[in-house]
Structure 1
Amino acid sequence: MVFTLFDIKYNISILPESPGVYIMKDKDENVIYVGKAKNLRKRVSQYFRKTQNHSEKTRSLVKNIIEFEYIVTENEIEALILEDSLIKKYQPKYNILLKDDKTYPFIKITINEDFPRVFSTKNYIKDGNLYFGPFPSINSVNEIMSLIRSYFLVRSCNIHIKDGVKSCRPCIYYQTKKCNAPCYGLISKEKYGEIINEISDILNGKSKDYILNLLKEQMFKHSENLEYEQARDIRDKIEGIKLIFEKQSIFSGGENSEDYINIFRYDNEACVQVFFLRNGRVVGREHFVFENIMGDNDEHIIEQFIKSYYGGTAQIPSYIYSPEFLDKDNIEKWINIKSKRKVYFKTPKGGEKKELFDLVRKNARVMLDRFKKNKYLCSVDRESDYLNELKDILCMNSKIDRIEAYDISNISGFDSVGSMVVFNNGTPNKTQYRRFKIKSVQGPDDYKSMKEIVSRRFEHALKEIKCIQEGELEHTYGKFCIFPDLILVDGGCGHINAVEEVLKSFNINIAVCGMVKDDKHRTRGLIYKNQELNISSELIKFITRVQDEVHRYAITYHRSLRDKRSLGSILDEIPNIGSKRRRDLLMYFSSVEGIKKASIEDLLKVPSMNRSSSESILKFFNKSKT
């Protein structure tokens, strides 16, 4: 139990009715959710109202909130900016987050060095150097950097180089014509500086035509002077610069820049796809998959995505086409402040833009399908590994597709039940689970109980098979007609022998193993043919899953029967105690034994109880004692 001095109800009542940001914390004081509000008191109080409208995710969030803080802001836009900043700082588990959404790459030129370096970085520091970007994709930066190094021969080493000082001998980059070797004094500081200025002009987006025309003049001049090698080098540089400008234009954010955003989802997973349009053509795309969205609607996911994506340092286009989303007006104002120009949010209704918008959604579906397939294949690979190990250890000839596990649950022989769970290809198939109420066994005899439930299971199976053969039953309607490849029982050699005896009586040949536990009641391994098997940790994990599941299913059924018996046989006999009071009493005291021990003051604390009904309970149990 968590003890806290924080009174949620009181603190909600003193919240201001003004814009701001609220910060939810759990028992360990971790920030688990950050949100903004137009009216803090109204918004925060909505979380703690009992309503069926809350999504599964919100219910889970509220269950974990122990305390909250808030920050008042001047307006909603300020709240939006602060919310974005706090989400990036704390990365709360219940906020929708982009993976690696904190920083985007820049290109950095170290102009405070005699021979500057040009490289990519995610750290923007006010250190007097030049930074270009940011770019929303590291791939685009890598391509630009590759072109710069190929055509401008700038150094890529971290050596401290001073003008007029030979630091070391030229390396392989000089020999392969990828560096001018300033470390050995083979290029002057002034000449190297001219190269850096050219790179800066290109990355600054200065006139493409001006730079290219300047280089063409130099190329023709070298050609006229019969300096063909120099002319060829400038020609290659011109081609490289054209490619760099083309890469730069992808994320330029100019007048003809558009981003198209759409979403596709399956239940608890969604994919948001973004297409980048520059000058009328698609020049790039990105997708983001969100898992465990637990009831969040599309409007909320798109809102959170736009805040996370454009709240980073990605270039912002002039037009953003997306589905409708929450708080659109405030987010649009915030984006305009961030980009320092007007950015338009639209939802296409028809024409070519609508066709492209639908294409983005189609691609989102493709990417989500691919993600789910890869996720499934990884799972299947892991499952097939331990199932193959199990097959090899048991010396089975065929693949293990279906496993049935059995367990018995009772207390001193009362309300004895059995359970059967089914795993297909390593995954639980809950539609095939079966439970049995023990009928023929009196007292606590697990071996006879196990024989009974397995006998009943295969008796049903043989009857169904006969009906199927005679055409009286379709195979798909059979509940027991599919036989397992392997049977697992929760127990040791005695339980295995009991099951094998039943199988032998039906002339059925199926391998049977026992799932055994250690002194601390943890799954230890498998017993097969009276020997404990040496198995891998991965297989032990799987056996543990099976054992825990069959035990859970058995004990759940046992408890339901026990509660029905206790509720019906004892509380039904007490005057003035109807079904509602019986239910409330059991909810409050957890058991009949708890009700027996309760004083009249304790009984009066139950919502539906009054003094007359409380006295009836005390009188009934005191009479039973005598």
Structure 2
Amino acid sequence: MADPSSYRPAPGTVPTSPGVYTFRDADDRVLYVGKAKNLRNRLANYFQDPAHLNPRIRTMVFAADHVQWTVVSSELEALNLEYTWIKKFAPRFNVMYRDDKTYPMLAVSVKEQYPRAFLYRGPRRKGVRYFGPYPKAWAIRETLESLTRVFPVRTCTTGVYRRHEQLGRPCLLGYIDRCSAPCVGRISPSQHMDLVDGFCSFLAGGTTEKVMRDVRREMEAAAENLDFERAASLRDQLTAMDSAMEKQAVVFSDSTDADVIAVAGDDLETAVQIFHVRGGRIRGQRGWVVETTDAGDATPALLADFLTQFYGQSAELADATESAVGGNSRAAASREVTLEPVPREILVPVTPEDADGLASWLTGLRGARVELRTPQRGDKRALMETATENAQQALRQHKLARVGDITARSSALEELREALWMDEPPLRIECTDISHIQGTDVVASLVVFEDGLPRKSDYRRYRIREAAGDGHSDDVASIAEVVRRRFQRYREDRSAVPAGDDAGDRLDGEVSVADVEKGAKRFAYPPQLFIVDGGRPQVEAAQAVLDELGVTDVTLVGIAKRLEELWVPGEEYPVIIARNSPALYLVQQIRDEAHRFAITFHRASRGKRMTRSVLDDVPGLGPKRRSQLVAAFGSVAKVREAGEDAVAALPGFGPKLAASVMAALGPATEPSTEPTTGPEPPTDS
């Protein structure tokens, strides 16, 4: 750890302009990203007496090795750049707003011929419209049950749909009129899409009252015509719509479009809750729990960080969704009822830092004026109090649920430090594993854990080039090859990080945006602990590579499967850790994740090889044209028999491409190099 006074910028060298600054460790890893109206005043706060800093910031300044800053032209530009770098570098000491749990959503697959409505959890995907999130999964099921009485859209999975399509009869939902049964042709694609549009419009609140008025008018007309069966069915539809609407309480007028944000916290952690109000109704609720960054009342700073990250990500998701549905004219026509990612009004408990700059930035994201304000009385104040109570409850539940996990991870890292005689707990751990079947498709995985949790963005996959091939493999040499390639990459990335001409330039600290982006190398710093899946031979081979490359600041161990012992280079006997130890459990978890990642890559590689065709090597022949060839002639052998003129006559082909295809296939007397059916894939051990 470095003393902050050793890298404090010289007096007068920090400009008074607005800008963005980064604290970095000795490996040039970004630890913290911040913005400032006045860089000189803001950075001076970090170099005061450490006793006056809160514990988190004090730990950060001692973990850092130097500070850099980038001057920008305005506060708004600083806000944009700070958001971009927090997302890019994921700094350890910045508060990262991630959901405290995965909320379920109601999804509609609008890109399918017959779109499907279903419950969904997880990241958003292209070609799917989402409604929610809902607090409970049962709320989505009840909403679906109610609305499919009015809009009988498809809700079955693809497998169920295809099975009943082959059987020629609908499922139970089709018989009881809860599904329009597109699987047996009861409804055309355009008619089903009309139902889907009405379903989505109702959920989005765009035509709720209009739909209910139309159904009520039709019910009254049926009753006047003495069609009581039809009138009873429409009455049940109205009851179902009323039931669905009751789940989303009316809180304001129909024109209200706002997000209500509440905060509750203590000296260690802070809970943030947000209520999405659209069309006067609560359309969703989300929550986060993050570490408290400052002692005392730091709510304005926390709100500024939250607004930047949350609405920046929401706007990006909205852009991606719009791009996904842009080619679908019907979906594009219904976009006016889609919820805006940034509402007209954002209600906050206190005024955030740089409120004017945030409002300008949010206005740019929305494309229309956005107002930040604190409600003082009335219904909006009452809803703010409800949101605050939810935040308090979320914080209480989080502490009860998460304290065990945090304690276990900290205990595991400390036990590993003691067992392996390390100076500090291994905050970054990497592990590699080899996967193959009898020397074929030999691949390796590299997984990364930071602070005891997987960092999947840093995972890597390798194809073994030198130590395997032609049906043979050497696990020891394969481990050595992966270690060499990984740490050669470390040396290359480290040498690519811009550090100035000399130490004096580094202490001066000012860098351009391009320099920072150029230096964003994920492997420009080594792990504290590197694990190989294997025993003493694998460990010794990996250590020989590290010695050859001059890497001396990495602790290397191997975990053997037989007794789950840890092998250390140069030691005759392994390190034995208690079977019930959190440290051994963590090492096993990392090893199993490396094994899973390697197996997944191996299966994908093997499947691709077994389905490979000689057509794959034809230059200028893409997947679409290959499929066109096989569809036109039936097989590679028949393409060869058809001849060059027949291939050139296909749409999109010409004499040049046809000649390339025939040259790759060879003369007609040769047998086909592609089997009609491949062998059954062997099972992984």
Which protein has greater RCO, CA pairs closer than 8 Å, 6+ apart? 2
Which one has a bigger Cα radius of gyration? 1
